[in-house]
């Protein structure tokens, strides 16, 4: 009989859970379910993923134990001082949990501090034992699961990693082909490109996870860790560069590119070939040819008859195509070094910008929500006598609250069914089956069977919530220990605890701010336009004078907002209640988010392009005109941040076209007086890049306005609970 | 004269404080109310619904505590 992958993974988790319980019970450790928890939550699809998660859980538990013991040592006598010093640490963990690195470490550190504090707080004499017990049982669960995963049907990450790397390369090749068609005017490819882009984003995230996992469980990958990281960096950059390249297409639609860029077909073939060779190398074959030289130049004679804006668009396109050439060469070199087909290019030591703290308002909002959950649980525990669960209620609220704010898009209603079904099933086992068991043979078989059924039934990634709740409630309700007692009251208390806790968690969806997806979407949209408004005002500073330190920080903050908000909006958009869309389709909302993504890229390009050219004579001569453009765009952003319905494509188009036409005329006049050659080749290129960026923002704004017209914003903005 | 005395509720042998039962009843009543208010688009008449939500919890809890738990 051949077992499916799903069955094998369920057997491994069930076996590890049974062994962990067996060891903890034979050592006569109190609360053996902590070992069970560790097994339940570190089990992942491959050994490497599990080991990484296990390491983060272990380190998080150790840090949490140290912090919890320090808090108990310092403030066990005063509950207000205790909570006052505990909350900043927990909130810090909650904030860090939303960051790009070590999310699980911070999540575990945060909720384990609460659990240890509230388990030991009422009994400070045994606090040290409790903290140590938590650490050793977590270590036991992790060790047992790691050994089981290593020895029974081990699944190393390398093969999955290689598959994802191949898929990602194929997707990027497809995306390049789609963009190539779009550049040549085949508009029908736009929808396909959008889908490929979404696929690319998912594969990039998976590639990063599996690279970390493969480094942990595969010597071959660990040995080549640095080149793989370099390849990962170049793949990420390739995605960005392709986006920027695609972003320039709107302005060049009417131009004859084969005349303007005579080497264009050869250039595109060369890039296509490089991407194909990358795919071949990832499939384990030798490359058939190496990257060749690329001759891509702008024909100045043909470009000379274009308007200045069109010349700017060509300059921007040319620059982006150069970047694409460079990054595909780097990616090819990195991979050929890994596969042994050549020398990997030296890793460029780029000057890293000084890291500065840029707060993320969404993560801060999640912290506030978590703070309300923990404080409400704490106050209820203190002030309401006989509160179900007692101090355990606060620990459980902390752990659940952290999971909830980690995925704020997930509707709370999604947990009702798993909790109810898990509590009922665990209750039946606890009342009717467990009292019949006298030895570990029977108990072990029960633990194995229940864990297997839960893991097998909820094996898909989208069923993780059901699996987590199923295992957690079984472990909590069964309360397996050496001095096993059976009491209906403890079951009823646990059920009551969840019955009270879940409405409390639901309350935070409504108060103090609404977390309904459409409200969050509107708030983020407002922030996006406010940030655009600020960035325009910074670019528009007279004479390009130096900006203060505070403004530099604000600029970095708003740039971060503009760069990250379209992705965040993309995660909220599918969750919006169709009733709130009031006539618009989910497709309209997706297009709106894509339009914002375009505007975001163009805003970033504009800020980037504006930096080196402020001293150029031509820019100074046109300062007044550019300021008039900025004022107009800034006004538009201000209106949009107050009311997204303020955008109408016709108004924007007529206003911006008028200004751009004026600017075009002024450029002609100024150039007639000074001669373009006075700028020098570098000056001309940077000037046209800036001009192209200005035009790009105008076009993206008009295009966004066109997209918003399909949405009934009044209905969307209507106040709702 | 002695007013109504709040009494404990026992569910499956678990004794629950009167305030807890009142609060849970209040919360359930509010969840039903806001669903209806959203359904009939009456929530648009409130300036800040989250605050109304909490105010309704307080009102319903007091009503439940006075007329249901306290009798």
Position A190 scores a pLDDT of 77
CA dist., res. A234 & res. A230, Å (int): 6
Within-domain flag for B9: no
Which of A215-219, A417-421, B27-31 is predicted most confidently? Answer: B27-31
Position A220 scores a pLDDT of 84
Per-residue model confidence as pLDDT tens digits over A425-466: 888 999 889 999 888 999 999 999 999 999 998 888 777 777
**Structural domain for B22, as ranges:** 18-69
Give how far the C-alpha of residue A548 lies from the chain's centroid of Cα atoms, to the nearest Å: 31
Phi, psi of B9 (to 5 degrees): -110, 140
DSSP A373-417: HHHHHHHHHHHSTT-TTTHHHHHHHHHHHHHHHHSTTS-GGGGHH
Distance in Å, alpha carbon of A379 to nearest chain B alpha carbon: 13
Per-residue model confidence as pLDDT tens digits over A77-88: 888 999 999 999
* Burial per residue of A344-366, b for 16 or more beta-carbon CB atoms within 10 angstroms, e otherwise: bbeeeeeeeeeeeeeebebbebb
Within-domain flag for B6: no
CB contact under 8 A, B20 and A500: yes
Domain boundaries, chain A: 5-155+359-507, 158-339, 521-717
Position A71 scores a pLDDT of 92
Residue A514 contacts B where some CB pair is shorter than 8 Å? yes
Nearest Cβ partner for B38 among A499, A512, A720: A720
Helix residue ranges per DSSP H, A121-156: 127-151
Which residues from B are below 8 Å from A500, CB to CB? 20, 24
Within-domain flag for B8: no
CB contact under 8 A, A719 and B57: no
Residue B14's SS3 state is strand
Nearest Cβ partner for B17 among A385, A514, A718: A385
Better-predicted residue by pLDDT, A644 or A169: A169
Residue A512 contacts B where some CB pair is shorter than 8 Å? yes
Distance in Å, alpha carbon of A427 to nearest chain B alpha carbon: 13
Spatial CA neighbour of A535 closest among A418, A657, A641 = A641
Per-residue model confidence as pLDDT tens digits over A496-543: 888 888 888 888 888 888 888 888 999 999 999 999 989 988 876 655
Distance in Å, alpha carbon of B1 to nearest chain A alpha carbon: 27
Residue B56 contacts A where some CB pair is shorter than 8 Å? no
Distance in Å, alpha carbon of B60 to nearest chain A alpha carbon: 15
Residue B51 contacts A where some CB pair is shorter than 8 Å? yes
* Burial per residue of A144-161, b for 16 or more beta-carbon CB atoms within 10 angstroms, e otherwise: bbbebbeeeeebbbbebb
Within 464-493 of A, beta carbons closer than 8 Å to B belong to: 488-489, 492-493
Burial of A47 (0-12, 13-18, 19+ CB in 10 A): buried
Predicted confidence band of residue A682 (pLDDT cuts 50, 70, 90): low
Within-domain flag for B44: yes
Average pLDDT, rounded, for chain A: 85
pLDDT at A649 over 80: no
Q: Which two tokens stand for residue A646?
A: 């303020």
Nearest Cβ partner for A503 among B17, B24, B47: B24
Which residues from A are below 8 Å from B14, CB to CB? 388, 489, 492-493, 496
Tell me the average pLDDT across A347-367. 77
Which residues from B are below 8 Å from A512, CB to CB? 50
Q: Which two tokens stand for residue A466?
A: 């059901």
CB contact under 8 A, B27 and A387: no
CB contact under 8 A, B38 and A512: no
CATH class of A521-717: mainly alpha
Number of domains in chain B: 1
* Burial per residue of A211-236, b for 16 or more beta-carbon CB atoms within 10 angstroms, e otherwise: bbbbbbbbeebeebeebbebbbbbbe
Per-residue model confidence as pLDDT tens digits over A82-141: 999 999 999 999 999 998 888 999 999 999 999 999 888 677 778 888 889 999 999 999
Per-residue model confidence as pLDDT tens digits over A542-579: 555 567 888 888 999 999 999 999 989 988 988 888 77
Q: Which two tokens stand for residue A282?
A: 């990832």
- The residue with tokens 């986006």 is A243
CB contact under 8 A, A719 and B46: yes
Nearest Cβ partner for A488 among B12, B17, B27: B12
Per-residue model confidence as pLDDT tens digits over A43-82: 887 888 888 889 999 999 999 999 999 999 888 888 899 9
> From B32, which residue of chain A is nearest by alpha-carbon distance?
A721
- The residue with tokens 């409405």 is A503
Distances (CA, A) of A712 to A582, A598, A629, A645: 6, 22, 29, 8
> From B38, which residue of chain A is nearest by alpha-carbon distance?
A720
Residue A506 contacts B where some CB pair is shorter than 8 Å? yes
Distance in Å, alpha carbon of B59 to nearest chain A alpha carbon: 15
Distance in Å, alpha carbon of A579 to nearest chain B alpha carbon: 10
DSSP A322-344: HHHHHHHHHHHHHHHHHHTSSPP
Within-domain flag for B50: yes
Within-domain flag for B12: no
Which residues from B are below 8 Å from A493, CB to CB? 14
Which residues from B are below 8 Å from A511, CB to CB? 50-51, 53-54
Test the B interface: residue of A510, A517, A712, A717 with most B CBs within 10 Å:
A510
Which H or E run contains A475?
Answer: helix A464-478
HEC secondary structure over B39-57: HCCCHHHCCCHHHHHHHHH
% chain A with pLDDT above 90? 32
- The residue with tokens 């994802």 is A164
Predicted confidence band of residue B1 (pLDDT cuts 50, 70, 90): very low
Nearest Cβ partner for B19 among A384, A511, A721: A384
Residue B11 contacts A where some CB pair is shorter than 8 Å? yes
> From B11, which residue of chain A is nearest by alpha-carbon distance?
A492
- The residue with tokens 């005063």 is A78
CB contact under 8 A, A388 and B12: no
Predicted confidence band of residue A27 (pLDDT cuts 50, 70, 90): very high
Position A239 scores a pLDDT of 92
Cis peptide before A441 (omega within 30 of 0): no
Which residues from B are below 8 Å from A503, CB to CB? 24, 27-28, 31
Distances (CA, A) of A119 to A112, A123, A360, A389, B54: 10, 8, 32, 11, 31
- Cβ-based neighbour number of residue A654 at 10 Å: 11
CB contact under 8 A, B13 and A493: no
CA dist., res. A53 & res. A45, Å (int): 11
Tell me the average pLDDT across A274-300. 88
CB contact under 8 A, A719 and B47: yes
Predicted confidence band of residue A268 (pLDDT cuts 50, 70, 90): very high
Predicted confidence band of residue A483 (pLDDT cuts 50, 70, 90): confident
Distances (CA, A) of A79 to A130, A378, A571: 19, 10, 39
CB contact under 8 A, B14 and A510: no
Better-predicted residue by pLDDT, A121 or B40: B40
Position A633 scores a pLDDT of 79
How many beta-carbon pairs below 8 A join chains A and B?
71
Per-residue model confidence as pLDDT tens digits over A582-594: 777 888 888 888 8
Q: Which two tokens stand for residue A655?
A: 């206003």
Tell me the average pLDDT across A383-407. 88
Residue A691's SS3 state is helix
């Amino acid at each position: 009989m051949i077992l499916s992958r799903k069955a094998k993974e369920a057997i491994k988790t069930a076996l590890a859970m049974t062994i962990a319980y067996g060891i903890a019970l034979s050592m006569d450790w109190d609360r053996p379910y902590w070992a069970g928890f560790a097994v339940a939550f570190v089990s992942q699809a491959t050994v490497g993923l599990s080991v990484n998660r296990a390491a983060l859980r272990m380190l998080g538990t150790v840090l949490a134990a140290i912090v919890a013991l320090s808090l108990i040592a310092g403030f066990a006598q005063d509950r207000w001082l205790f909570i006052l010093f505990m909350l900043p640490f927990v909130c810090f963990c909650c904030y860090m949990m939303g960051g790009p690195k070590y999310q699980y470490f911070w999540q575990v550190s945060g909720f384990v501090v609460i659990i240890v504090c509230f388990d030991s707080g009422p009994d400070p004499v045994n606090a040290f034992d409790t903290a140590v017990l938590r650490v050793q049982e977590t270590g036991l669960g992790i060790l047992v699961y790691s050994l089981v995963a290593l020895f029974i049907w081990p699944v190393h990450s390398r093969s999955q990693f290689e598959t994802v790397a191949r898929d990602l390369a194929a997707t990027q090749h497809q995306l390049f082909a789609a963009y190539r068609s779009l550049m040549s005017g085949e508009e029908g490819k736009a929808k396909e490109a959008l889908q490929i882009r979404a696929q690319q984003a998912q594969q990039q995230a998976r590639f990063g996870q599996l690279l970390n996992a493969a480094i942990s469980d595969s010597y071959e990958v660990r040995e080549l860790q640095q080149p793989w990281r370099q390849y990962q960096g170049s793949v990420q950059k390739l995605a960005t560069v392709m986006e920027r390249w695609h972003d320039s297409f709107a302005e060049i639609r009417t131009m004859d590119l084969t005349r303007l860029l005579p080497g264009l077909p050869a250039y595109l073939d060369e890039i296509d070939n490089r991407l194909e060779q990358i795919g071949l190398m990832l499939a384990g074959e030798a490359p058939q040819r190496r990257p060749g030289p690329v001759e891509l130049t702008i024909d100045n004679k043909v470009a000379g008859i274009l308007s200045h804006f069109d010349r700017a668009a060509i300059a921007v396109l040319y620059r982006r195509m150069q970047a694409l050439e460079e990054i595909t060469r780097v990616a090819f070199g990195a991979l050929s070094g890994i596969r042994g087909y050549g020398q990997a290019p030296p890793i460029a030591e780029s000057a890293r910008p000084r890291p500065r703290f840029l707060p993320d308002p969404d993560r801060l909002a999640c912290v506030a929500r978590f703070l309300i959950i923990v404080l409400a649980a704490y106050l209820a525990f203190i002030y309401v006598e006989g509160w179900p669960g007692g101090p355990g209620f606060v620990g459980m609220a902390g752990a659940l609250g952290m999971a909830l704010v980690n995925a704020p898009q997930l509707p709370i209603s999604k947990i009702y069914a798993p909790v109810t079904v898990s509590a009922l099933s665990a209750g039946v086992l606890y009342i009717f089956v467990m009292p019949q068991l006298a030895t570990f043979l029977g108990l072990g078989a029960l633990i194995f069977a229940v864990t297997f059924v839960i893991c097998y039934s909820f094996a898909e990634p989208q069923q993780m919530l059901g699996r987590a709740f199923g295992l957690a409630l079984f472990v909590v309700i069964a309360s397996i220990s050496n001095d096993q007692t059976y009491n209906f009251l403890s079951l009823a208390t646990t059920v009551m605890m969840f019955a009270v806790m879940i409405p409390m968690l639901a309350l935070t969806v409504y108060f103090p701010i609404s977390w309904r997806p459409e409200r969050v979407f509107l708030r983020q949209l407002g922030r996006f336009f406010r940030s655009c408004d600020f960035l325009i005002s910074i670019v528009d500073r007279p004479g390009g004078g130096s900006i203060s330190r505070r403004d530099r920080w604000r600029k970095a903050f708003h740039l971060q907002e503009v760069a990250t908000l379209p992705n965040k909006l993309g995660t909220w958009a599918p969750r919006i209640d169709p009733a709130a869309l009031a006539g618009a389709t989910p497709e309209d909302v997706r297009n709106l988010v894509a339009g914002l993504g375009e505007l975001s890229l163009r805003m970033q390009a504009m800020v980037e392009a504006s930096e080196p050219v402020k001293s150029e004579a031509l820019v100074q001569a046109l300062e007044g005109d550019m300021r008039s453009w900025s004022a107009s765009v800034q006004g538009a952003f201000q209106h949009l941040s107050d009311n997204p319905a303020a955008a109408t494509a016709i108004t924007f188009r007529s206003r911006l076209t008028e200004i751009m036409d004026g600017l075009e005329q002024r450029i002609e006049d100024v150039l007639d007086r000074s001669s373009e050659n006075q700028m020098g080749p570098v000056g001309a290129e940077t000037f046209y890049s800036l001009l192209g960026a200005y035009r790009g923002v105008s076009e993206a704004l008009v295009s966004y306005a066109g997209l918003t017209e399909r949405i009934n914003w009044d209905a969307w903005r209507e106040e709702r609970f | 004269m002695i007013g109504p005395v709040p009494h404990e509720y026992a569910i499956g042998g678990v004794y629950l404080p009167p305030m807890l039962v009142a609060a849970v009843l209040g919360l359930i009543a509010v969840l039903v109310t806001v669903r209806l208010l959203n359904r009939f688009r009456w929530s648009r008449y409130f300036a800040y619904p989250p605050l109304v939500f909490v105010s309704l919890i307080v009102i319903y809890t007091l009503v439940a505590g006075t007329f249901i738990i306290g009798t």
